[in-house]
Amino acid sequence: MFQATLGRNSPYRIYNAIEKARPVLLCNVIRTYISVAERMNDAYTKAHKTLLGKKLPHDVNIKGVFACNELDLREVRVYGFDYDYTLACYKPSMDFLLYNLGRDRLVDKLKYPEGIRELEYQPGFAVRGLHYDVSKGLLLKLDSFLQIQLGSVYRGLTALSDEDVMKLYKSRTIPLAYVESARGGVDASSKMVQLADLFSVPEMSLLCNVLDYFQRHQIDFHPEILFSDVKTSVQNCHPIMHRLVQANVSEYLELNPDIRKLFEQLKNNGKKLFLITNSPYNFVNAGMTLLVGDDWIDHFEVVIVQARKPRFFTDESRPIRMFDTETGVHLWDRVTKLERGKIYCEGTLKQLEAITGWQGKQVLYFGDHPYTDLADVTLEHGWRTGAIVHELSHEIQTLNNDEFKLNCNWLQMLTMLIEDHQEIEDNPMAKNVLDKWIEERDRLRMSVKRAFNHQFGSVFRSGNNSSYFFRKLHRLSDIYTADLTNLLNYSSDHLFYPRLNVMPHDYNTVYCM
């Protein structure tokens, strides 16, 4: 019986054989671990060598006009313009003026602490397109999928950790109803408000400064009340701002002699021009006189001031009124025709179309605000639209930097390495290599982000995705550019083609359907 248990396959013999083989098996496992890690390091070295031998992308044309939708200028008979940040580009002094007026009003009118008067404007802190969570008192950036860009959430001037952000929101993705109102835009019923125009940037900087002051001095406050007070203070200062700018317009307005050239080129090609702005006549007159000359009104078929956009585009029955430039009075006579050289105010787009006959794709309207200027005219009235995005100049300058291009190329290649080698199973040496790659990728992503803005990154991108701001801009504008006068580089019969939207499943293929 005892000898039987010592047969070829007895447990004793198997155990003894395993014990003898264990060092060999362990060495083989270690060799496998090392081999995989070495192959990963070789792939990394090869990729880096390829990077250095790879040509950098061509520079982007800083004076380019970029298409979101196909646009044939031969179909456009009428060109319309907003004024602020479309025809008129302001110097940084405008931001300081609005900030200082709003800050002092908080102290003088609303009796905020005197120490707030010492808070200085911080240019470059905020960027356009951010969202402010009114109830939580947070400034943050969302991408096109309504995901929070972690590392870019601020309470006052203090960045929140990723852990704190997740505790507050429970998820990186914000529900659509929390961001947008029922009608699809951003209004008083939204939980968040967006910095959709450049006038809102100094306002948001003031809000963050005051909130930071309250936190540092342990002053209790309600985030919604603080937001309302700051917003009201800055907006109520606009009439004061108008008067100060009128008195010294060259201190605040960037000179651009090409505006007149653009008007003349369009008119010489048989195009009609009109101006619709929310700003008052005297303010517009001072700026347009500096930009174009005393005869600026003669370039336009129609000039409408104090239009109250977006209500101008959505209201049905608010009559157009004539404005007496001598007395400053809104006349009460019925307006049945629109005359060149006259100034009008208020009214509706429906009336404008009825009187002029300008409709649909024959009209191209330029503005800087995606909602106030562009949304209703393109979605409800079929006008073609152009967005003026002044930040685009800074973005393109950054994109054209050789070091930035190199970092972006390496970031893309490193991401592909991580993707291709992530199935490493239970290999601690390979996992160590992979973890180092991921850490390097995180550092690169932060470097690329901060090249645009230290706190919030690019206006147009959020990580691998487009920003929420660009998502709206892309939907609501047919073309966009950094400066209106970039149109001078294109003929009046130019056809703008958008780039092919390559989908994830066809990235190796280029085709048209």
Q: What backbone torsions phi and psi does residue 193 show, to the nearest 5 degrees?
A: -120, 150
Confidence at residue 476, expressed as pLDDT on a 0 to 100 scale:
95
Tens of pLDDT, residues 7-24: 555 555 545 555 555 565
Q: Which two tokens stand for residue 484?
A: 């209106």
Q: Residues for the chain: how many in total?
A: 513
Answer with the residue of higher pLDDT: 429 or 34. Answer: 429
Confidence at residue 31, expressed as pLDDT on a 0 to 100 scale:
66
Residues annotated within the binding site are 82, 84, 368
Residues annotated within the binding site for GMP are 84
Confidence at residue 23, expressed as pLDDT on a 0 to 100 scale:
61
The residues, any chain, with a CB within 8 Å of residue 493's CB and separated by 6 or more, are 72, 73, 74
Answer with the residue of higher pLDDT: 123 or 333. Answer: 123
Where is average pLDDT lowest: 47-61, 188-202, 234-248, 284-298?
A: 188-202
Tens of pLDDT, residues 244-275: 999 999 999 999 999 999 999 999 999 999 99
Confidence at residue 490, expressed as pLDDT on a 0 to 100 scale:
96
Tens of pLDDT, residues 303-347: 999 999 999 999 888 899 998 888 888 888 888 889 999 999 999
- Residue 5 pLDDT exceeds 50: no
- Residue 458 pLDDT exceeds 60: yes
Tens of pLDDT, residues 381-411: 999 999 999 999 999 999 999 999 999 999 9
- Quick check: 480 and 66 in contact, CB under 8 A? yes
Mean pLDDT of 140-147: 95
Buried b (16+ CB within 10 A) or exposed e, 208-242: bbbbbbbeeeeeeeebeebbebbbebbeebbeebb
Q: Is 317 exposed, middle or buried (0-12, 13-18, 19+ CB in 10 A)?
A: exposed
Determine if residue 487 is left, alpha or beta; phi over 0 gives left, psi from -120 to 50 gives alpha, anything else beta.
Answer: alpha
Tens of pLDDT, residues 145-186: 999 999 999 999 999 999 999 999 999 999 988 888 644 444
Tens of pLDDT, residues 50-106: 988 888 989 999 999 999 999 999 999 999 999 999 999 999 999 999 999 999 999
- Residue 424 pLDDT exceeds 80: no
Residues annotated within the binding site for Mg(2+) are 82, 368
- Residue 25 pLDDT exceeds 90: no
Which amino acids are annotated catalytic? 82, 84
Average pLDDT, the chain: 89
Q: Residue 444 is which amino acid?
A: L
Q: Is 347 exposed, middle or buried (0-12, 13-18, 19+ CB in 10 A)?
A: buried
User: Strand 363-367 to strand 465-466: parallel, antiparallel, or no bridges (unpaired)?
Assistant: unpaired
